[in-house]
Amino acid sequence: MHYGADREAAEQTLGSLTGEGHVLVGGDLRDPDAAADVVRQSDDQLGGIDILVNNAAIAPSEGNRHRIDQTTYEAWQAAWRQMLDVDLLGAAQVTYLVARGLIDRKAPGFIVNVGSRGAFRGEPDFPAYGAAKAGLHAFGQSMALALAPHGIVVNTIAPGFISSDRQSAALEGPAGDDLRAQSPFGRVGTPDEVARAVLFLSSPAATWASGAVLDFNGASYLRT
């Protein structure tokens, strides 16, 4: 399990996992050298990486809102640089390193990118986030084509609003009812539901779905 900066929270999550053999590695994936070190440590401690889930991201928040008609040029640049570097380039760097390791070992593997419904519906308050996730979706499809001859399956999941810890304030606040009403189920998705979908996408049963982008938003946004 990788963390960017909050080691304490990562250790708590690690402690909640069942079974044995889990490892914890930290590093800023925006830095190519740090990304390489994260993959090297993981590979050494696990005896080889077979499944990669690209979940690291700078998520939308009040602190990084950058609507074009309400944001300074400096804040605009900072938001774009930060989100593209983490949400897209970080995933691309780690994917390269893990995929090359699998190719060198002549081993099959699975890569799952965690995208967003925002890549399709638009994110006027967080355009850099929407663009980064759209890029991640396209990157996943490119990698599905490039890596299939090596037996490596690449899929992407595009969740809608999920009831993670960082979204609890929004769900409990005045916007909570509107957020739940986005889906005809009258609720938002859960981390457990996303985890189960990722588990499927990283299993042999999902091999023939390689290159897919799975809409996972409770019918809150339907593509045509």
Cα 55–61–223 angle (5° rounding)? 60
Catalytic site includes residue 129: yes
> Which residue of the set 3, 96, 129, 221 is catalytic?
129
In this structure, the dihedral spanned by the alpha carbons of residues 193, 195, 200 and 206, taken in order and rounded to 10 degrees, is 100
Burial of 18 from C-beta contacts in 10 A (0-12 / 13-18 / 19+): exposed
Strand order through the sheet with 213-216: 51-54, 109-114, 152-159, 213-216
Cβ atoms of residues 127 and 154 within 8 Å: no
Active-site residue list: 129
